[in-house]
Amino acid sequence: MSPLLVNGRTEKELIKACLSQDRLAQRDIFNMYAGKMMAVCLRYARHRLEAEDILQDAFVKVFTHLSDFEYTGSFEGWVRRIIINTAIKNNQKKSFSHEEIGLEHIKEDSAGPEVFSVLSEEELIKLISSLPDGYRMVFNLYAIEGFSHKEIGELLNIEESTSRSQLVKARRILQEKVHELYKIAI
Amino acid sequence: MNHLDKLFRNKLEHISADIPEGAWERVRLELPNQKNNIKLWWAFASVFLTAIFVYSGYLIFINDTSDTFNLKLASGKGSSHSQYEISLSPDSLAGILKYVPTNEKQEKRKLASYETQNIKSSYLTVDNTKSIFSKTPITSENIEHWEEIKNTNKYVSDKENADISIINNLITAEKNKNTLALPIEMSSFAKDVPAKACPFGSEYRNKSVDVYFSHDIPVKILASDSPQFDSYMGMRKQTEKSIYSFSAGARFGFNVGYRWNLHTGINYSQINEKFEYIDPESNQTRIITIKDYVYSNGKIVDSIITEEQVIIPGTTKLKVFNKFKSFDIPVISRFTVFANRNLSLSAMAGVYLNISVNEKGMILGADNITPIDISSPPDSESEIFKSEWGISGFGAISMAYHLTSNLDFLLEPNARFQTESMTTETYPLQQRYNTFGLSTGLRFKF
């Protein structure tokens, strides 16, 4: 399969050009991945403005640390990892107090998965964004990125058991929120 | 991973969202500067220029001044065969060739020898048994010595007379080396004889067309009549930086006298500069979305989404590339200082008559705070730059390397000086640009 060309250059050629600070190549790389990465940022951020900040910071890191990319995996995966790390660091820098919600506050009669399937991607992102910071991070990393609890523990500097419990709580909050929405809808 | 996780992953893993407006610009501003290719270019140009100058120096000062040819003369046959070398100037050589066309075959061989050896040496066979040649070369200093040899030796045979004839010719050639003309049959060598090869073009090529591209470095000059604008002038100098600029054009040239040529045509110049301004106390306006949930008995029963405009204290960074584009009519005289078979060197001086100018970009306004747009057509109330810049002085050293008989490669270090301010009288500062450049181009002579 021939490599995908952007303005006559392959991804590898664009990366090489970016290493020479070629602005056109950097813009092409940005345009190639900014949409996908913005969707990632929206999942990790509380609101769109925060997502935009993460996207900006992360792409600056992408271009300034491009020499570290070793072509061992996909470039998109490498960029995504930088986005995720930037989102995590951004979350850790926040000065506000960590939100805690106990399991006792969550109703057991929450919505089933079939309700989620009718929700749009935008609605799902909004649901994730509404999760408390810690839960949101764990849910994103585990459910969507596919990290193990051990890896999440290392990434977020928390215990593996904390990751597990936060995942459970995140799921239940999501079910609860959908349940509420569902009830409002009918 | 449970069903809920899979559902989220399947729906969200590969989706895209809208790229925020201006996102790339914000990223770009945070990135380190581009590698300065201009520096590399100038390094390359410097090396190239140095090579040209060194080669020119070789041609002018070494090749020409020592352009003597070693004429090998052989006499005798077999064991009595001996060879002598005589150093000759190009003109002397031409004189020899005029007088020593033996027969057609020998002439062809001789000419071939000149061609292949670039007239550095030739082999002239003199079929005599009693050679009178010694190892003493015939030069202007020892012509008397050779005349004495000629007069004191008695030769009776035709062959010996041939020797005398050659010596006569050599002496005559050396004596008249500055006035000897090439014989018609030697015209094919005219281009190879430096002193006669390039008679400043005036006789053979009296018209020419130049096309050129010049890499320029602009130097901006700001001045103020009043000290109250010194601070503003300082801020402008601080926020604006001249960068790589260029000019290009075509000019017609015609010969107006011995060594004198006049050129005119059209020239486009683009002066580029970078405007960078950071306002550390500027406010940013952002729209935030607020979602309020309406609770009833501890349950969400409704939600209200509102948008608010908030002012966030922040920093504004501006980075704009300014362009000053102008069209001019050059009127330039050129005096040929030096010329030989490979190149000519000329001094050029003249004026550029500006016919149109166009600005684009931003500068700091006279209030020293607000960046203002200078793009043409300007707002009549905030007009800063004139619509034409008047006359500029121009000077250059033009080096023309003869690629063919009617095509030259041009290399011209040049300078251009604006004589008038680019700004209007209502603007408090006077602004001029002087540019220094290196032009490369081609000259077609016809």
User: What is the predicted pLDDT for the residue at A39?
Assistant: 92
Mean pLDDT score, B381-386 = 70
- Residues in B closer than 8 angstroms to A36, CB to CB, are 14-16
Domain A103-185 has CATH 1.10.10.10: yes
- Residues in B closer than 8 angstroms to A79, CB to CB, are none
Closest CA to B407 of B120, B262, B211, B219: B211
Mean pLDDT of chain B: 71
Dist. CA A31–CA A29, nearest whole Å: 5
User: What is the predicted pLDDT for the residue at A94?
Assistant: 64
With an 8 Å Cβ cutoff, are B9 and A174 in contact? no
- Residues in A closer than 8 angstroms to B14, CB to CB, are 36
Dist. CA B122–CA B408, nearest whole Å: 30
pLDDT at B255 over 80: yes
Distance from CA of B279 to the nearest CA of A (A): 20
pLDDT at B135 over 50: no
Cα–Cα separations (whole angstroms), residue A10 to A31, A32, A63: 14, 12, 17
- Token pair, residue A124, equals 């799902």
Using the Cβ of A141 and the Cβ atoms of chain B, whether some distance falls under 8 Å is answered with no
| pLDDT tens-digit map of B45-83 | 777 777 777 766 666 555 444 445 555 444 444 444 444
Distance from CA of B178 to the nearest CA of A (A): 60
- Token pair, residue B134, equals 């010694």
> For A113, which residue in chain B has the nearest alpha carbon?
B4
Instruction: Write down the ipTM of this complex.
Output: 0.82
Contacting residues for B186 by C-beta, under 8 A, at least 6 apart: B94, B97, B98
In order of their start, the domains of chain B are 69-196 (no CATH), 199-276+320-445 (2.40.160.20)
Mean pLDDT of chain A: 81
Q: Scan for tokens 């503003």, then name that residue.
A: B232
Instruction: Tell me the range of B57-61, B72-76, B119-123, B439-443 where mean pLDDT is highest.
Output: B439-443
Closest CA to A124 of A178, A45, A182, A50: A178
| pLDDT tens-digit map of A36-64 | 999 999 999 988 888 999 999 999 999 99
Closest CA to B127 of B90, B171, B166: B166
Cβ atoms < 10 Å from Cβ of A138: 27
Using the Cβ of B425 and the Cβ atoms of chain A, whether some distance falls under 8 Å is answered with no
Mutation for testing the A interface, residue in B1, B2, B11 having most A CBs under 10 Å? B11
Question: Of A137-141, B2-6, B105-109, B114-118, which range is least confident?
Answer: B114-118
Pairing of strands B69-75, B121-125: parallel
| pLDDT tens-digit map of B307-326 | 777 777 766 777 889 999 99
DSSP labels, B401-442: EEEETTEEEEEEEEEEEE-S-SB-TTSSEEEEEEEEEEEEEE
Dist. CA B277–CA B142, nearest whole Å: 77
- Residues in A closer than 8 angstroms to B4, CB to CB, are 113, 116, 143, 171, 174-175
User: What's the whole-model pTM score?
Assistant: 0.42
Using the Cβ of A48 and the Cβ atoms of chain B, whether some distance falls under 8 Å is answered with yes
pLDDT at A135 over 70: yes
CATH architecture of the domain covering A5-93: Orthogonal Bundle (1.10)
pLDDT at B437 over 60: yes
More confident of the two residues A170 and B295: A170
With an 8 Å Cβ cutoff, are A113 and B286 in contact? no
- Residues in A closer than 8 angstroms to B33, CB to CB, are 21
| pLDDT tens-digit map of B352-373 | 999 888 888 888 887 777 788 8
Q: Where are the beta strands (DSSP E) in B13-150?
A: 69-75, 82-88, 121-125
pLDDT at B11 over 80: yes
Nearest-CB residue to A60 (from B5, B14, B27)? B27
Q: Scan for tokens 């057509």, then name that residue.
A: B377
Question: Which residues of chain A are in CATH 1.10.10.10 domains?
Answer: 103-185
Mean pLDDT score, B109-115 = 46
With an 8 Å Cβ cutoff, are A56 and B26 in contact? yes
With an 8 Å Cβ cutoff, are A116 and B301 in contact? no
Using the Cβ of B5 and the Cβ atoms of chain A, whether some distance falls under 8 Å is answered with yes
pLDDT at B441 over 90: yes
Contacting residues for B443 by C-beta, under 8 A, at least 6 apart: B208, B209, B210, B253, B400, B407, B408, B409, B410
With an 8 Å Cβ cutoff, are B34 and A22 in contact? yes
Q: Is there a contact between B357 and B420 (Cβ–Cβ < 8 Å)?
A: no
pLDDT at A178 over 70: yes
User: What is the predicted pLDDT for the residue at B83?
Assistant: 47
> For A186, which residue in chain B has the nearest alpha carbon?
B301
Question: Of A53-67, B113-127, B375-389, which range is least confident?
Answer: B113-127
Using the Cβ of A53 and the Cβ atoms of chain B, whether some distance falls under 8 Å is answered with no
With an 8 Å Cβ cutoff, are A56 and B301 in contact? no
Percent of chain B whose predicted confidence (pLDDT) is above 90: 21
**3-state per-residue secondary structure call for B254-272:** EEEECCEEEEEEEEEEEEE
Distance from CA of B446 to the nearest CA of A (A): 43
With cut-offs at 50, 70 and 90, classify the pLDDT of residue A184: low
With cut-offs at 50, 70 and 90, classify the pLDDT of residue B106: low
- Token pair, residue B238, equals 């601080």
| pLDDT tens-digit map of A90-124 | 888 764 444 444 444 444 445 555 666 677 888 88
